Amino acid sequence: MTPLFLASTEVWLDQLVNGLTTGSIYALIALGYTMVYGVLQLINFAHGEVFMLGSFAGYGTLVALGGNDLSGGMVAVALILAFLAAGGASLGTAVAVERVAYRPLRNAPRLAPLISAIGVSVLLSHLVDDGFLNGGAKFYPQIFPDGDIELGPLQVTYLQLFLMGSSLAMMGVLYWIVQQTKTGRAIRAVAESRDNAALMGVNVNRTIVVTFALGAVLAGFAGVLYGLFFSSIRGSMGFLPGVKAFTAAVLGGIGSIPGAVVGGYFLGLTETVGRELLNEIPGVNLPNQWKDVIAFALLVLVLIFRPTGIFGQKESKRA
């Protein structure tokens, strides 16, 4: 019997797991883009750098606690502290950026905050790369327990399992906050109409800050996962995941929370499984870097054929 595909089952399953792993990171970052867009109709282009600074805070924490020498139960403690530090650093960055770069421009033409966002993004990434690292990189301590789970041809490392599982848990918590809490209701109300939310007694500025903060904590969390998984981190590390997460948010329908999650996984899978599919075409053999080409080709196609994305709503009616 001739096999249906050139690639083996193992390769396909590997790509599936890889896709879900990077997809988790895209989804976590994409949530920040989509939530801020939801309340402000602003693309927070500094969000990739919020992710980057979270990753560095996590790195600093792990190194300070012993780095590669960490073992046993201390690994778990160090990881928890790293996540807390990353969440805190990202939150602080995002809140400061909102206050300094966006709020003063709240009533300016829409292009103004976009340009100030790009300015903050470039400033932060270069500050880290040129100011502190002199063009070099840092490497996350390899502390996560090695090993994997095998289910027939399916092979998943503990790190990948942790990454996918903890991302899902974080997204679950976010979903609960947005859907079930008073703060979440305020966020959804502000997203529909700032004026009408204010008429309910909602403090709109505070709600906007909370929205930035929630997205930032998820990005900081993603920064640590990224460091654990890809190891090398640098000031410019936020750029590609940032733009891709933005792509994921647009894919899902910017402003939509489920859309950001679905878009994140969809993009992760398209990059990996999609590339493998193209490689099935006789004579085609795309190296790994083609995943970026595929991601952005997808963005362009979505923008042309379905600019509102998968879950996109039309601009809500405003009185």
Partner 1 sequence: MALLSLRGLVAGYGGITAIKGIDIDVDEGEIVTLIGSNGAGKSTTLRAISGLVRPRSGTVAFDGAAIDRLPVHEIVKAGISQVPEGRGIFHRLTVYENLQLGAFQRSDAGVASDYERVFALFPRLRERARQTAGTLSGGEQQMLSMGRALMARPRLLLLDEPSMGLSPILVDAIFATIRQIREQGATILLVEQNALMALEVADRAYVIESGLITLKGAGAELAKDDSVRRAYLGEA
Q: Which residues bind partner 1 (CB under 8 A)?
A: 182, 185-186, 188-189, 192-193, 195-204, 313, 316-317, 319
Min CB(191)–partner 1 separation in Å: 8
Sign of CA dihedral 226, 252, 244, 111: negative
Residue 315's alpha-carbon distances to 93, 98, 253, 254, in angstroms, are: 29, 23, 11, 11
What CA dihedral angle connects 284, 287, 290 and 291, to 10 degrees?
110
- Residue 80 and residue 166: Cα distance in Å, rounded? 12
Min CB(197)–partner 1 separation in Å: 8
Give 6 or 199: the residue with its C-beta nearer to partner 1. 199
Min CB(228)–partner 1 separation in Å: 37
Give 20 or 208: the residue with its C-beta nearer to partner 1. 208
Min CB(42)–partner 1 separation in Å: 19
Give the closest residue to 214 by CA, choosing from 24, 79, 38: 38
Give 166 or 193: the residue with its C-beta nearer to partner 1. 193
Give 94 or 189: the residue with its C-beta nearer to partner 1. 189
Give 155 or 193: the residue with its C-beta nearer to partner 1. 193
Phi, psi of 157 (to 5 degrees): -75, 160
Please give the distance of CA 169 from its chain centroid, rounded to a whole number.
14
Min CB(174)–partner 1 separation in Å: 17
Contact 32, 215 (CB under 8 A): yes
